[in-house]
Every structure is written in C-alpha cells, then in structure tokens.
Amino acid sequence: MASRKAPGTSTKKSAGPGTSGSDSIGNGGELHRKASGKHPPLTTNQGIPVPDNQNSLRPEPRGPTLLEDFILREKITHFDHERIPERIVHARGSAAHGYFELTKSLKKYTTAKILTEVGVKTPVFTRFSTVAGGAGSVDTPRDVRGFAVKFYTKEGNWDLVGNNIPVFFIQDAMKFPDVVHSVKMEPDRGFPQAGSAHDTFWDFISLTPEAMHMIMWAMSDRTIPRSLRTIEGFGVHSFRLLDAKGNSTFVKFHWRPKLGIQSTVWDEALKLQAADNDFHRRDLFEAIQAGQYPEWELGVQLFTEEEADEFDFDHLDPTKLIPEEVVPLTMIGRMVLDRWPDNFFAETEQVAYCPANIVPGIDFSNDPLLQGRLFSYLDTQLSRLGGPNFHQIPINAPKCPFANLQRDGHMQMNVPKGRVNYEPSSLQSDAPREAKEGYRHHATRSEDAGKGRVRPESFADHYSQARLFFRSQTSIEQAHMASALVFELSKVGTAHVREAIVGHLRHVDPGLAKRVADGLGMDALPPAPPAKFKPHDMPESPALQIIGRMKSTLEGRAVGILVDDGSDAGAVSALKKAAADAGAMVKIVAPKLGGAKLSDGKRMPADGQLAGTPSTVFDAVAVVLSEKAGKQLAREAAAVDFVRDAFGHLKAIAFDAGAKAVLDAGGIDPDAGVVKASDTKGFIKAAKTRQWDREPKLRLLA
Ligand code: HDD
C-alpha cells in the first residue's frame, strides 16, 4: 500500500512494529521536554522497561491494535480504575501535613502522651471539607466545613473528626442517612449540587426540631468562611479523659485559628463560586507554599460528671454546646500545617478518618451520635478504599510500631512471616501478645432502665440554645442570618415547608420569625409548632460571634492592585510595600497577563489577568491608573465590577486620580473605607477589617 502520512508529520519512514517508535509520533515528542534531571526509565507496574509510551502495538503501521499489547492494557486498565467511590459526605476536601505541639500538660486528667508531653511535636494530617457537594464541586457554597485531624501519636493514631460548628443537626446516628439524603442533590432530578437551598433539606428540617440550633449556625456567616485558615474547629461531642486510676473528666475539644475567624459576605461567596472554584484549596496551598503556615490553638473545656449534672441541658446531646462563659477554654497546644501533600489522591483522597481511632487516656462518651459514628467510618472505608487493609496505605498507617494477627484480604501489602497467625500461641518467639499497658475503657455507670429505642427526656429542649446563638450575635450578623434564611427558603417551592420553618423560628426568636416571614412575603405569621419543652433565655455568649471577635489584621490576607500602562510606579510600589509589611499577600492585576509598563518605563508583570481575577479573591484592593487608562477601563465591565464588588463586599479600596473614572462608573459613593492611594496608612488600617457600616446602605437585608 502506498505510504500515507498525516499533514505536517515527519517524512521519516515509519518504524516497524515492535521497534521503538518515538520518531514516528511526528509532532515532536521532545518539544516540551524542558525539565532535565535524573529521569528514571519508564516501566510497567511489573518493572518492565517501556521504550515507547506513544504508540500501541500493531501488526503493521495502519493495522489494528493487538490484544497482546500488555503495556497498553496495563495502562488503560489502571486508568479505568483511577477513581474510587467518593465520600458519601465531605467528598470535597483539601488537606495538609503538619504537627501538633502540646504547650500545657493535662497529666492531672489523662495518661495520653499526646496530652501530657509538653514540647513534643506529633505529626498530623488535617483535612478540611464541605459536607454536601461532590468531590468536583466548588469550595464556597453555604455549607458546614469538616475539620478532621489525624494525630500520628506514639501510642497509635488518634483522629479528632470534627466540624467548624460545635453542634450537629441530629441527636441520634439513626437519623444520619436521612439528614444526608435530604441535603444532597434530590434523587429524581440530580440537583442542586452542594447546597441546602432546596425542598428536601428544609422538609426534613421542618420535621426535625432538634436541628434548629444547628440551623442557626448554618445560616450564620460561619458557613461562608473566607479561608480554611480562618475557621474554628470543634470535636462536637463530649469525650472522656482518663487518669492512671481510671478516673474520668469530660472534655470538649476546640480549635482556634491564629488569624482569627473570618467570613465572606453572601454575595461574595456566590461570586467566588464563579471566580475560583478552588478558592479555599488554592488559598491553603498558596499560604503553605509562601511559608505562611496556618496555625490553630487547641483548647479544651474540662468538666466533671457532677458539674455536668448542674447544666440546664444534657451535654451528651450533640445539638447542645457548653457556653464558654459556663466552662472556660484552657488552651493546651498548637497545630501548624507546614507541608502540602505530595500527591492529592494518595494522601488527601485516601486518608481515612475514624472517630473510633483513639489512644489510651481518652475515651468516648455516651453521646448517641458519637456511638453511631464509631461504627460508620470504618465501615464506609471498606467500600471506599476497597477492603480491610486500607490502614496499610501510607497516609493511614500509624507511625508507631503495630502488630497483630489480622491477615489476608484485598490489597494485603505486608508479607507476614512465620507459622503463627492466631493467639494464644507458643510456636513463635516474635508473635504478638497482649500488651501489658493497653487501652482501657472507662467503667461507666450502668443505667438500670431496660433496653429500648429511647431518646432521653433531657434532650427535649430544641430551641433554647438556638435562641442563645441568635441573640448572642451582633446586629449585622443577625441580619445576615435572617437574609440567609430568606434566601434558602426562597428556593423552597413547597409553601407548607416554608411556613413550618417560620413556625419553628417563632420559638427561637419572634423578631427573627417576623423578619423572615416579611422577607418571604408572607401575609401572616404561620403558627408555631407545639414544643415539648418551652424555650428559656440563657445568658448571651459573645464568644459565639464572628464580627465581635475578628482580628484587625492583614496577616494572611490578600491585597490586589489593579494597574495598567502608565500607572504611577511610585504609588504602586508604596502600596505594595505597605501591604506586604502588614503581612498581606499582594497580587498585581492588569488587563493583560504580560503586565503593564508603569510610569517609570519598567514593565510590572501581572499575577492575574483582570477578567479572570475579580476583586472577590482579595480582602482589599487598590486601583492605580493613568488618566488615559482610567478613562478606558471605565468602559471595561471587568474593571468596573472589580471596584463595585470590592465596595459591595465591604472591602477597603485605595484609588488615585486616574482610577476615579472607574469608581464613578461603578457608582461608588466613597466612604471611610475608600481612601486615596497616597494614604497608604489609611488604606492599611481600612484593609485590616471590613466596612460593616457600609452594608445597610448597600443592601436590603431582611
Ligand atoms: Fe461524619 C465523614 C464530621 C456525624 C458518617 N464526617 C466525615 C468527615 C468529617 C465528619 C469531618 C470527613 C473526614 C475526611 O476528611 O475524610 N460527622 C462529622 C461530625 C459529625 C458527623 C463533626 C457529628 C458531630 N458522620 C456523622 C454520623 C455518621 C457519619 C452521625 C454516621 C452515623 N462521616 C460519616 C461517614 C464519612 C464521614 C459516612 C464519609 C466519608 C468517611 O466517613 O470517611 O462515615
């Protein structure tokens, strides 16, 4: 047959079957191979060197592919199985390595080495996640964030698998599949993805009054965080600490971010979903790469059984928190995340957390939600990670010695030696035997009531803490919660569900119920459902606020400076320096990625192109433009949106004379947070916080 060649391919003769064919790929397999170094030879999984990774095996150049091609088959087979089932909840996550360092010993309460050896650095792997969305969903929907820490302690792995909210939707694990089904995309239509603003979720909630406290948290700005570095973490349940004699003290665990807690505003969170799907993941990655290691303090609330008996709620109920004003936090250590994983799949995806992973000196409480979790996590890994040996995957394996007689199963990675795979045994001198000092469970009091499917009476107050949370917020945060409820319920098509939720809100706070009813356009307030336990007022807890506790700082935040050809070089560099000195990460934005030639004739490269780098990804912005560029950009929607959104999202804006035209085009009425570019001090001061006073002038909050 006459030789055929594709247009533009090499005129070299085709290599024959079975020969190294790197020439025959034509369009230069070598063209982009800039990286040089020690490249190991490519092999199959069996170690057989692969001389041609471009062409499959054919009997003749234009013939069919041969089944015999074991290299192709191995490669495609592996590829076909590259995805594993994603987590049923918390599928989308980002993680990092780091360490935990104890700063205050709890030896009075526990024997756990991780909580008694001050100064020891224990390796950790921490994964943050959204709950509802799939693995490929966005980072910034309104959602609870998972906060899971695996401590590789000397005494085995301890997993503290928490959330950024200290309470949960339900009281009993029996209801977990229901709440998760209701919030995930609806089964008949396959939407919405990654959000709770739909009928099935609110239907379930309207029939589950115990969820009302968590709903208050979910509708607060806690669920639209600015960064994973600025969320709190909570172990949620009460656990026990056990001393050498077996005496028990209850404990709740809290993570406090060093940068302070910070959130976005809702319109910003929505726009971030378009601006950057990976906003939180990228932020965590960039911070770690820049050496700005995220850090949290670990705090504990310690209390005895007798003290617990005095609380006017049951601490075993996971829909309740213990106000810090009642049991203060003792700070005992810090966690620093200083290394991004080498491989997303091997580490972030395959990591398997389990609340049942616990070390001697710590024990579970009888919280019925925790009790169910002790079963669920190991069970889910069996299908997610394909069998019972997932603990051998490097990210899951303990970093202390471990030995037992469990054997075989899918994906057994170890090669156990010897005859003995049972216990007791006497045939082998190195067979594992029971540890002298091992894990001991707390000897709990036995309740003398009979067995049954019961919910304790002490769990019956569903509204008092919801009210406590709402009433403890600043007025701005209360307005955000009311607006969030209006937004979510406006997406609910079923009238009786909307009405039922407003009915519950009447028990939480009548004013809130009225605002939401007005926001939904209801003519009258729907009736409140019967409540078994009449809510009561608890003393307000300012510790539950965000705004009241935000740190005024630029550390760990991002400042964007929009420039174009002719921008004042002096002003740009002064702003850049001032922001960087204050700890911010500074990025230059320009209409073209190649950057701009500033007034000093030098080209300043851009970190982001204007259309793809909106102001939503920054905490504060500066716009420095020549008169000419200002006039031009006043007609560029991306530039006008840049300032309008920064203003709408309550951010500080610095501008110079040339940039005024863009601000005017955005209809911006300057306030205290809009400052002259020459006033670097004023800009930095305004950039350290949000301009909360601006909001009521901009937005009709419920
Ligand atoms: Fe859960 C994952 C946190 C209740 C069953 N959960 C999972 C993750 C976090 C939490 C952070 C992701 C871990 C990771 O990054 O891999 N879950 C919580 C908190 C809860 C809670 C704070 C209540 C206080 N969970 C809960 C209940 C059950 C589960 C009551 C079942 C009875 N959770 C699971 C699970 C997941 C999971 C299905 C999915 C993927 C996984 O475990 O590894 O087993």
Summarize pLDDT for 670-696 with one digit per residue, the tens: 999 999 999 999 999 999 999 999 999
Lowest-confidence pick of 78-82, 243-247, 316-320: 78-82
Residue 37, pLDDT score: 79
Whether residue 35 is predicted with pLDDT greater than 90 in this model: the reply is no
Pocket test for ligand 1, best of 84, 88, 125, 161 (most atoms within 8 A of CB): 161
Query: Which position has the token pair 């999202």?
Result: 649
Query: Could you tell me which residues are beta bridge partners of residue 242?
Result: 248
Query: Which position has the token pair 């004013």?
Result: 511
| Count of helix runs (H) and strand runs (E) in the chain | 18, 18
Residue 700, pLDDT score: 87
Residues 108-154: tens digit of each pLDDT: 999 999 999 999 999 999 999 999 999 999 999 999 999 999 999 99
Report the CATH number of the 464-548 domain: 1.20.1370.20
Q: Is the CB of 94 under 6 A from ligand 1?
A: no
Whether residue 366 is predicted with pLDDT greater than 80 in this model: the reply is yes
**Three-state SS at 668:** coil
Q: Domain 555-698 is in which class?
A: alpha beta
Mean pLDDT for the chain overall: 93
Closest CA to 154 of 420, 522, 406, 437: 437
436: confidence class by pLDDT, cuts 50, 70, 90: confident
Crossing angle of helices 680-687 and 569-581, in 10° steps, is 40
- Tell me the mean pLDDT in the region 651-664: 98
Residue 142 CA to ligand 1 centre (angstroms): 18
ipTM above 0.90, yes or no: yes
Residue nearest to atom 40 of ligand 1 (CA): 87
Whether residue 11 is predicted with pLDDT greater than 50 in this model: the reply is no
Residues 244-261: tens digit of each pLDDT: 999 999 999 999 999 999
Residue 445, pLDDT score: 66
Q: Return the ∠ at Cα 303 (arms to 302 and 309), rounded to 5°.
A: 155
Whether residue 13 is predicted with pLDDT greater than 90 in this model: the reply is no
Q: Which two structure tokens, joined as six digits, stand for 647? A: 């203003």
Residue 256 labeled ligand binder:
no
448: confidence class by pLDDT, cuts 50, 70, 90: low
Whether residue 611 is predicted with pLDDT greater than 80 in this model: the reply is yes
Residue 336, pLDDT score: 98
Residues 93-118: tens digit of each pLDDT: 999 999 999 999 999 999 999 999 99
Residue 187 CA to ligand 1 centre (angstroms): 21
What distance in Å separates the CA atoms of residue 242 and residue 253, rounded to the nearest whole number?
Answer: 15
Residue partners of 40: CB distance under 8 A and separation at least 6:
none
Residues 544-590: tens digit of each pLDDT: 999 999 999 999 999 999 999 999 999 999 999 999 999 999 999 99
Residue 14, pLDDT score: 42
Give the rounded percent of residues in the chain with a pLDDT score beyond 90: 90
Torsion (CA) 669, 675, 678, 680 in degrees, nearest 10: -160
Residue 451, pLDDT score: 82
Residue partners of 50: CB distance under 8 A and separation at least 6:
41, 42, 43, 44, 71
- Tell me the mean pLDDT in the region 25-35: 55
Q: Which two structure tokens, joined as six digits, stand for 236? A: 């949620």
25: confidence class by pLDDT, cuts 50, 70, 90: very low
Contact 54, 45 (CB under 8 A): no
DSSP characters over 132-156: SS-TTS-S-SS--EEEEEEEEETTE
What distance in Å separates the CA atoms of residue 289 and residue 118, rounded to the nearest whole number?
Answer: 28
Pocket test for ligand 1, best of 89, 222, 379 (most atoms within 8 A of CB): 89
Which own/partner contact pairs does 693-696 have at CB distance under 8 Å and 24+ positions apart?
A: 694/647, 694/650, 695/265, 695/476, 695/479, 695/650, 696/479
Whether residue 27 is predicted with pLDDT greater than 50 in this model: the reply is no
Whether residue 500 is predicted with pLDDT greater than 50 in this model: the reply is yes
Contact 246, 440 (CB under 8 A): yes
- Our answer to whether residue 90 is catalytic in this structure is yes
Residue 377 labeled ligand binder:
yes
Lowest-confidence pick of 441-445, 448-452, 466-470: 448-452
Residue 6, pLDDT score: 42
Residue 381, pLDDT score: 95
Residue 89 CA to ligand 1 centre (angstroms): 7
Residue 574, pLDDT score: 98
Give the rounded percent of residues in the chain with a pLDDT score beyond 70: 94
Closest CA to 264 of 276, 255, 253: 276
Domain spans in the chain, listed from the N-terminal domain onward: 93-392, 464-548, 555-698
Q: Is the CB of 235 under 6 A from ligand 1?
A: no
Residue 176 labeled ligand binder:
yes
- Our answer to whether residue 55 is catalytic in this structure is no
Pocket test for ligand 1, best of 175, 317, 348, 353 (most atoms within 8 A of CB): 353
Residue 103 CA to ligand 1 centre (angstroms): 29
What distance in Å separates the CA atoms of residue 9 and residue 688, rounded to the nearest whole number?
Answer: 58
**Three-state SS at 589:** strand
Neighbours of 141 (CB within 10 A): 23
**Does domain 93-392 bear CATH number 2.40.180.10?**
yes
**Three-state SS at 675:** strand
Residue 31, pLDDT score: 61
In terms of DSSP bridges, do strands 156-163 and 362-364 run parallel, antiparallel, or are they unpaired? Answer: unpaired
